[in-house]
Structure 1
Amino acid sequence: MRVEFMRTIAKRQRKFAATWGFLAVPIGIAIAVTPFCASLSRAQTLNDQVSPELTPQFLFNQRAMTVIGQGLAAAPADTARLEFSLGLRLPPELNRDVESDPSPEEFLQPVISALTESGVSRNQIQIQAVQIENPRVQVTVTRPTRESLQALIERVNQSLRQSEALFLQSIGAEYGINNCQFLERQARRAALNDAQTRARNLAADLGVNQGEVLRVTEYPLAGSPASGACGSKIGVSTSPFGPASDNLPPYNPAAPTEVQLRSQVSITYTIEEES
């Protein structure tokens, strides 16, 4: 009679979970409530295939601990993009004939000449200017170093010092690598090792035995602000209330020319009974 009653309760709870997206359990059991629609979650969750089904009876009897591990991996950049944002020394005349304005290429010729004379090919230079106001010039550099980028920036600065029309407003920089997969795995392995170390220390401090892996969750990879690929986005505003920008992150001459990746994982272990 009691067995049949428990089966009925479990069946109703599974039906409730399928309808509302979460599982009701007795008070006093701490669980994570995960949205029912998998597309709403950005985390990739890997469940141990040999783990028992997460029934109410299993959750009620299971003792577990969860740790979060973090890992960082870095690699020298294969490419760098420099962005020169320019401004006009004098505002354009309001009543001018716009059709008579020089083309962006002609207007930015001092900057383009400075770059090509430094060894940059023309197909590595991009001009972003619908009109002559606030133009931007982007240049791609292969195998960049801090010294080579500094020399390029100094050459552009010199060309603009002699210009009566343009001045340099700001410089942005972004670094990338040709193959992100190797760096992603390095960061993930570092995060897993960190989580395993934390689990051992936590079990020792609690005076319990660490058991098998119940659940692993990998969170989205995050790159450094100047990393152009491998998990980071270009132009993400530093303020959650500020508008997004398509400008590159500010150039930092002291920063290494490398791509950094951060990984974070959450691992849940069973707590074994002491033998």
Structure 2
Amino acid sequence: MALFDGSLLISMHKEIGMSMKKLLVVALALVLFATPVALGGQVKAQDDFPTQRTITVTGYGVAYGAPDVVRVGLGVEAVNEDILTAVNDGSDRMNAVLQALQDAGVAAEDIRTEYYSIYQDYGYGTPMEGGEQPVPRYRVSTTVTVTVRDTDNVAELVSAAVAAGANIVNYVQFDISDRSALESEARNDAIADARSRADQIAATLGVTVGEPLRIVEGFNQYPMPEFFGGGGGAGAAGSVPPISQGQLSVSMAVTITYAVQ
């Protein structure tokens, strides 16, 4: 008996080839059958989740309140050709100013040194008679921030400081120690304003405002200092401009995206 039958091998090869062809035909039929179903399912999914329509608006709110604290920036500048004389003069005058502030009712813990400097001023651009350059001078500057809790006494306090030797008044800033209540009031007004704007737009377009989808708080604005200038020689009491506290405002903004029905 032959160990290797060539005709049998050829027959097996033909049968395997026919089987592979049948499998390919069946697989192709399944792909062609499944493709429309998949495409149909995809289109249906898109129809089930249409793009959501929205309106985005920004509302604004402002709340007003009376200040209950004042911060005053003031100080002394001493000038002399001798550095030690300038330092001593500045120190003596600043001590007199600090004493005047405390005599006016300001607590020691409400006075904070803000700035201290010593520098040599060569007086460039201001030649003396005969074309000679002026002798360099030393400038010693000291400024403090004073927290005043009696807002009705600010003008008198500044005048007392100037009379004691202060020749720098950088700012007088009224403030509210706790702004949280005003912030809440302004924020509520901003939210109501945003809804009013959204309703107006929706009514014009013939749609209805739905629930808020996204809320972003924008900004808050606080009062800026009132600047009165500074420098120069010490003045007498009454040389400081009148100071009026008025009212302060806190502004808020919110941007809200609403669903549209």
Q: Distance in 2 between matches of 1:118 and 1:195?
A: 48
Is the aligned partner of 1:221 residue 2:211? no
In structure 1, list runs of 5 or more residues that go unmatched: 11-54, 161-165, 227-248
Letter of the aligned partner of 1:264 in structure 2?
Answer: A
Q: Distance in 1 between matches of 2:183 and 2:150?
A: 20
Is the aligned partner of 1:134 residue 2:123? no
- Specify the alignment match of 1:158 in structure 2: 163
Q: Distance in 2 between matches of 1:109 and 1:192?
A: 51
Q: Structure 1 residues 200, 182: closer, same or farther in 2, change over 3 A?
A: same
Is the aligned partner of 1:167 residue 2:167? yes
- Equivalent in 61, 67, 79 of residue 77 of structure 1: 67
- Specify the alignment match of 1:114 in structure 2: 100
Letter of the aligned partner of 2:190 in structure 1?
Answer: A
Number of corresponding residues:
191
RMSD of aligned residue pairs (Cα, Å): 3.4
- Specify the alignment match of 2:151 in structure 1: 144
Indicate conservation of the 8 Å contact 1:104/1:131, yes or no: no
In structure 2, list runs of 5 or more residues that go unmatched: 1-37, 119-139, 229-240
- Specify the alignment match of 1:92 in structure 2: 80
**SS of 1:211 mapped into structure 2:** strand
Pair member with larger Rg: 2
Q: Distance in 2 between matches of 1:201 and 1:261?
A: 26
- Specify the alignment match of 2:249 in structure 1: 260
Q: Distance in 2 between matches of 1:97 and 1:149?
A: 33
Alignment of 1:2-41 (within 5 A): 2=39
Give aligned-pair identity as a percent. 26
1:157-189 residue CA offsets vs partner (Å, 9 max, x unmatched):
3333xxxxx623x33133343433222211211
Instruction: Give 1:204 deviation, angstroms.
Output: 2.1
Q: Structure 1 residues 196, 143: closer, same or farther in 2, change over 3 A?
A: farther
Q: Distance in 1 between matches of 2:99 and 2:189?
A: 45
Letter of the aligned partner of 2:167 in structure 1?
Answer: F
Runs of 4 or more above 6 Å deviation:
none
Indicate conservation of the 8 Å contact 1:70/1:190, yes or no: yes
**SS of 1:137 mapped into structure 2:** strand
The two structures have a TM-score, normalised by structure 2, of 0.60
